[in-house]
């Protein structure tokens, strides 16, 4: 018994150190350069981290609603519509680590390690094989599309989504095919996905719905499994209420246009295939096609070659991997879905999250078949090192291509402040995405800080105070003058005139307008947390407390069962 516990402890330590080691190998080629490098969404997410960092430094504790220190200081409500909770580790590190570059890399190290550990746990629950779980952890950690999301795209929300996706899928598998008591895993994973990236969560919901619709014809206890899945989904929404409720509240308050509507089209098949074979991890600006990488492709091809040697579950995984990869290419008729709800995904290559995880699972399965045929323990250890060396080597080549790309440039910060590189650009920062439909056509005026004082244009650039408010000094020559300020308006936006709260006036631009009297007026625009937002924080806290208790109970029951089985003759 004691020997068994020591063995489990050593294995857990080995997995933890391996996860940290893989994460450091991923970061080393870029971190060693002493800077970040250009990424598609880099300016956008740096502004988000900057705002949250300032919010924490100023003692903020509730809902970080409007942006007073970033996004061109127009009171942009990005956190209503883009999940912010999973960015908090980055913001906390940036608030406590002197060098912002180091803080950002430490944040990446945290999520890379968490992602590796969740990958190991999910595969171990699925297969009960330590070797397969370790191999999957390595393949998934170094998966090309996952690292493309982190570096060339710097799409942190989607990277977070890939971090928690294994938890969603293993929870879904348990509910539909094995033991419904594992529903807390599904709930936790889906909630974290909702708190990471809305579109990834939407794609996951579609996949979950389709999986249920097909599986329900073949599984036993149909009603129980369906009910468990529904309840687990509802619990996930409650666990993510701190984002979901304010999001819905703002959507009900005023009309918002769908952000960044694009033509749905998969990448040309041969172009996608070539980029995948080349394992090209460089920026899209360098004429790269974002892809799943050569290991994913080889795994899926070998899965087809040795299809009959795969177990039934892995045969399904293989087919899902091939199908979802083909759906990212021009072979899939995306034009048929242009005018459906599916057009919100914008880029079909976002579906690469599925062949990425399914390809890694097939690769791990095939590696395990080879591993088990090795006759000598030393060869088995060498095979594990070779596995890490192969994946790390391919990433080093890909990272070099990214760093030395023609349009890739290093990003340095002045002093200890995180800020987007280059001049503030409303298009780069997506300033027209999360303002009201009424304000959208005036976004150029708003971001240029054009105000209307008694109907006359005037440029008013605000400052931010330590209360997370925008501060204006407005001079008027008449009493009862309406001043239309260049600040986006949301439910909860409040204005103070000379330290007294005043009602907001209607504005044709959908911005904040205030009536003022003659003289120099001191105006602050801030945000008052709504009762629904307070409720959402309470609901999220209680739900996660309950989830934590269920997860601890699940872990305890599993250990007791394993201990009992080990004592059987």
Q: Does residue 565 have a pLDDT over 60?
A: no
Q: What is the pLDDT of residue 5?
A: 75
Q: How confident is the model over 455-475, as pLDDT tens digits? A: 899 999 999 998 989 999 999
Provide, rounded to the nearest whole percent, the portion of the chain with pLDDT above 70.
97
Rounded (10°) angle between helices 198-215 and 183-194: 150
- Per the domain annotation, does 266 fall within a domain? yes
Work out the average pLDDT over 108-113: 98
Supply the mean pLDDT for the chain.
Answer: 92
Give the confidence band of 557 by pLDDT, cuts at 50, 70, 90: confident
- Per the domain annotation, does 422 fall within a domain? no
Strand partners, 522: 473
Give the confidence band of 423 by pLDDT, cuts at 50, 70, 90: low
- Per the domain annotation, does 157 fall within a domain? yes
Work out the average pLDDT over 152-156: 95
**Contacts within 8 Å (CB) and 24+ apart, 454-463:** 454/478, 454/481, 454/482, 454/483, 460/485, 460/486, 461/73, 462/73, 462/487, 462/525
Give phi and psi for 37, each to the nearest 5: -130, 165
Work out the average pLDDT over 82-111: 96
Count CA within 13 A, CB hemisphere, residue 177: 12
362 token code pair? 């097939």
Q: What is the pLDDT of residue 431?
A: 87
Question: Which of 439, 424, 514, 426 is closest to 472 using CA atoms?
Answer: 514
Q: What is the pLDDT of residue 413?
A: 83
Co-location of 471 and 350 in the same domain: no
Q: Answer for the pair 280, 291: CB distance below 8 angstroms, yes or no.
A: yes
- Per the domain annotation, does 425 fall within a domain? no
Q: What is the pLDDT of residue 2?
A: 65
Co-location of 246 and 321 in the same domain: yes
Q: Does residue 148 have a pLDDT over 50?
A: yes
Q: How confident is the model over 53-62, as pLDDT tens digits? A: 999 998 877 7
- Per the domain annotation, does 426 fall within a domain? no
Provide, rounded to the nearest whole percent, the portion of the chain with pLDDT above 90.
81
**The whole model's pTM is what?**
0.94
Co-location of 522 and 548 in the same domain: no
Q: How confident is the model over 302-344, as pLDDT tens digits? A: 999 999 999 999 999 999 999 999 999 999 999 999 989 999 9
Q: What is the pLDDT of residue 568?
A: 46
Domain that holds residue 495: 437-528
Co-location of 201 and 305 in the same domain: yes
Q: How confident is the model over 125-141, as pLDDT tens digits? A: 999 999 999 999 999 99
Q: Answer for the pair 202, 561: CB distance below 8 angstroms, yes or no.
A: no
Count how many domains the chain has.
Answer: 2
- Per the domain annotation, does 397 fall within a domain? yes
Q: Does residue 384 have a pLDDT over 80?
A: yes
- Per the domain annotation, does 431 fall within a domain? no
């Amino acid at each position: 018994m004691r020997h068994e516990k020591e063995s489990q402890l050593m294995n857990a330590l080995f997995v933890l150190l391996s996860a940290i080691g893989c994460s450091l190998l991923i970061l080393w080629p870029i971190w060693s350069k002493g800077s970040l490098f250009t990424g598609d969404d880099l300016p956008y997410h740096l502004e988000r981290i900057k705002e949250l960092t300032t919010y924490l430094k100023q003692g903020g504790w509730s809902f970080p609603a409007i942006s007073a220190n970033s996004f061109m200081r127009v009171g942009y409500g990005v956190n209503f519509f883009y999940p912010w909770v999973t960015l908090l580790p980055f913001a906390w590190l940036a608030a406590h680590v002197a060098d912002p570059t180091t803080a950002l890399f430490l944040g990446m190290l945290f999520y890379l390690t968490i992602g590796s550990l969740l990958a190991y746990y999910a595969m171990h629950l699925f297969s009960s094989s330590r070797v397969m779980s370790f191999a999957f952890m390595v393949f998934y950690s170094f998966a090309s599309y996952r690292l493309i999301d982190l570096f060339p795209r710097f799409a942190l929300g989607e990277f977070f989504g890939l971090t928690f996706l294994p938890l969603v899928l293993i929870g879904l598998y348990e509910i539909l095919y094995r033991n419904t008591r594992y529903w807390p895993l599904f709930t936790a994973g889906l909630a974290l996905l909702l708190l990471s990236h809305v579109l990834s969560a939407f794609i996951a919901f579609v996949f979950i719905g389709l999986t249920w619709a097909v599986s329900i014809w073949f599984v036993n206890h149909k009603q129980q499994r369906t009910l468990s899945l529904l309840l687990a989904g509802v619990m996930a929404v409650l666990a993510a209420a701190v984002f979901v409720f304010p999001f819905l509240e703002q959507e009900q308050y005023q009309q918002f246009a769908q952000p960044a509507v694009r033509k749905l089209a998969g990448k040309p098949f041969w172009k996608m295939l070539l980029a995948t074979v080349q394992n090209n991890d460089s920026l899209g600006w360098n004429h790269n096609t974002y892809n799943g990488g050569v290991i994913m492709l080889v795994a899926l091809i070998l899965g087809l070659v040795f299809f009959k040697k795969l177990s039934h579950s892995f045969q399904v995984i293989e087919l899902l991997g091939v199908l979802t990869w083909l759906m990212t290419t021009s072979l899939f008729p995306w034009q048929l879905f242009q005018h459906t709800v599916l057009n919100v995904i914008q880029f079909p290559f976002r579906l690469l999250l599925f062949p990425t995880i399914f390809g890694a699972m097939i690769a791990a399965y095939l590696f395990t078949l080879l591993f088990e045929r090795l006759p000598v323990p030393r060869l088995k250890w060498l095979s594990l090192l070779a596995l890490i060396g192969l994946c790390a080597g391919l990433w080093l080549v890909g990272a070099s291509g990214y760093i030395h790309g023609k349009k890739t440039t290093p990003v340095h910060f002045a002093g200890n402040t995180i800020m987007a590189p280059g001049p503030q650009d409303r298009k780069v920062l997506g300033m027209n995405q999360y303002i009201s439909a009424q304000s959208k056509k005036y976004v150029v005026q708003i971001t240029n800080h054009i105000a209307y004082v008694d109907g006359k244009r005037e440029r008013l650039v605000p400052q931010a105070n330590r209360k997370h408010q925008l501060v204006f000094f407005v001079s008027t020559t008449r009493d009862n003058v309406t001043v239309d300020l260049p600040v986006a308006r949301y439910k909860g936006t409040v204005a103070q005139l000379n330290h007294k709260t005043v009602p907001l006036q209607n504005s044709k631009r959908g911005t904040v307008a205030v009536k003022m009297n003659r003289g120099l007026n001191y105006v602050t625009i801030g945000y008052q947390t709504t009762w629904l937002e307070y409720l959402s924080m309470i609901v999220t806290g209680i739900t996660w407390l309950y989830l934590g208790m269920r997860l601890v109970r699940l872990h305890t029951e599993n250990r007791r069962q394993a201990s009992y089985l080990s004592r059987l003759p």
